[in-house]
Chains A and B, each alone.
Chain A
Amino acid sequence: MECETFRERIGADPADLDSECAEHERSCVPCAAYAARGRASERLIHEALRFDVERVRKPAVPPAEPVRAATPPRWAIAASVVAVGIALWVGSRFVPNDDPVELAAAVEEHWSHEPESWVRTSTPVASSVLEAALGDGVSIDAERLNVVSYARLCLVNGRWVPHLVVQGDAGPVMVLLMAHERVAEEIPLDIPEEGLRGVIIPVDDGSIAILGDDAESLESIEQDVSDAISWSI
């Protein structure tokens, strides 16, 4: 076998070399070295092609909330968003939430922002995406939950919070881990036109919002989520 033929064959299908090729590789030192390099690059090709689908479809970078006013220049919008964000953060970080109605409305409104999250599936989100959404301040024992199918860091009521979707018995359940959103007591959530109900429950110095189908057993989800998360903030 000619060297060129051998190299064409290994270039076309490195995994399917016949005995003639194998014999050539054994007897030709340059071609053996060529084949070794080819196999090394084959590993790279394989890894390069098999990218992390979740990270491409749903980038872990915090998404921007919809900005409805579009007339001011972009720098002004950016400056206002930053200024408002800082003001909200500084102003409300250590202040217990005293407007449960407003908080409930913000949570209910947020549900409609990410319709792509609202699917029934048995496929869990990639652990890297989940970790990115949780950030440093929250950890979760996913084993204690049913499938976590969605995870993203979202702006809700002026704070960035991890937004998860957990698969319940009756379908997807939205879970917002609001570490700095202190509530005095449980706040009911209700979107009757969508057949959804839920609750914001106080946990440590923050709260957790849970919203799912009317038929869902939210109490068990509450318990599972409370048991699964730990906050270090």
Chain B
Amino acid sequence: MPETSVNDARTLRFERLVAPWRDDLYRYAFWLSRDPQLADDVVQEAMLRAFRSLDSLKEEAVVKTWLLTIVRREHARVYERKRLETRDIDELTAAESALIATSDDSDVEDMRQAIFRLADDYREPLVLQVMMGLSTAEIAEALEIKQGAVLTRLHRARKKLVEQIGAELGAIED
């Protein structure tokens, strides 16, 4: 097949399979980094890598986890390059949460603030489960940890969130 036709076919497949995930991948990259610009860089690079290696994706049903892996690796690479630029966590939280204050619902905003403050180990599995719809087994595979550890992290993540937003879920009461 001529090279142009191959590229056209790949472009069409990319549009069909990958492009619809772009916003969710951006959100995932954003919650990994808590930095809009870094998330943009990560997704741009990840999309480019996805396009180049699209022919290696044989099973289309796994496109979501395939893309998440690419974004995760790309984030690690970009973060590695920029890790010397450390920032104060409180400053980061205020700045970035103000940036994503896109809801009129103050409860949602409070929750967003609380998610910002979660440690990476808790935030990432939560994002993968709630936003990306991964099962705990898939999360365990993606994060290369045991499923039991995923369950513990998810439970603790939710517990910390409700503690932070003043709900009553943190402790067993009766």
**Which residues of A are at the interface with B, using a C-beta cutoff of 8 A?**
3-4, 7-8, 11-13, 16, 30, 34, 37-38, 41-42, 44-53, 55-57, 59, 122-123
Check if A13 sits within 8 Å of B154, measured CB to CB.
Answer: yes
With known contacts A13-B154, A42-B130, A48–B102 Cβ distance under 8 A: no
Inter-chain CA distance A122–B154, complex, in Å, is 36
* Chain A residues with CB under 8 A of B80: none
Check if B22 sits within 8 Å of A37, measured CB to CB.
Answer: no
Inter-chain CA distance A16–B108, complex, in Å, is 23
Residue B111 is within 8 A (CB to CB) of chain A in the complex: yes
Residue B174 is within 8 A (CB to CB) of chain A in the complex: yes
* Closest A residue to B99 using CB positions: A56
Encode contact with A along B133-174: 1 for CB under 8 Å, 0 otherwise: 001100000000000001110111011011001011100111
Check if B126 sits within 8 Å of A53, measured CB to CB.
Answer: no
Encode contact with A along B89-133: 1 for CB under 8 Å, 0 otherwise: 000000000011011010111111011000000000011011100
Check if B102 sits within 8 Å of A12, measured CB to CB.
Answer: no
With known contacts A3-B172, A57-B40, A38–B158 Cβ distance under 8 A: yes
**Which residues of B are at the interface with A, using a C-beta cutoff of 8 A?**
15, 19, 22-23, 26-27, 30-31, 36, 40, 99-100, 102-103, 105, 107-112, 114-115, 126-127, 129-131, 135-136, 150-152, 154-156, 158-159, 161-162, 165, 167-169, 172-174
Inter-chain CA distance A55–B26, complex, in Å, is 12
Check if A38 sits within 8 Å of B111, measured CB to CB.
Answer: no
* Chain B residues with CB under 8 A of A13: 129, 136, 151, 154
Check if B99 sits within 8 Å of A47, measured CB to CB.
Answer: no
Check if B169 sits within 8 Å of A34, measured CB to CB.
Answer: yes
Check if B169 sits within 8 Å of A41, measured CB to CB.
Answer: yes
Check if B27 sits within 8 Å of A12, measured CB to CB.
Answer: no
With known contacts A11-B155, A13-B151, A122-B15, A41–B161 Cβ distance under 8 A: yes
Q: How far is the CB of B139 from chain A (nearest CB, A)?
A: 10
* Chain B residues with CB under 8 A of A49: 27, 31, 115, 126-127, 130-131
Check if B111 sits within 8 Å of A45, measured CB to CB.
Answer: yes
Name the contact of B172 in the complex, choosing from A4, A12, A47 (C-beta under 8 A): A4
With known contacts A37-B168, A53-B23, A46–B151 Cβ distance under 8 A: no
Check if A45 sits within 8 Å of B172, measured CB to CB.
Answer: no
Name the contact of B115 in the complex, choosing from A11, A45, A56 (C-beta under 8 A): A45
* Chain B residues with CB under 8 A of A11: 154-156, 158-159, 169
Inter-chain CA distance A4–B36, complex, in Å, is 38
* Closest A residue to B139 using CB positions: A13
* Chain A residues with CB under 8 A of B150: 12
Inter-chain CA distance A46–B174, complex, in Å, is 28
A-B contact pairs, 30 of them (CB 8 A): A11-B159, A12-B151, A12-B158, A16-B135, A37-B168, A37-B169, A38-B158, A38-B169, A41-B165, A44-B108, A44-B111, A44-B165, A45-B130, A45-B158, A45-B161, A46-B130, A47-B103, A48-B108, A48-B109, A48-B111, A48-B112, A49-B31, A49-B115, A49-B130, A49-B131, A50-B27, A51-B27, A51-B103, A52-B102, A59-B99
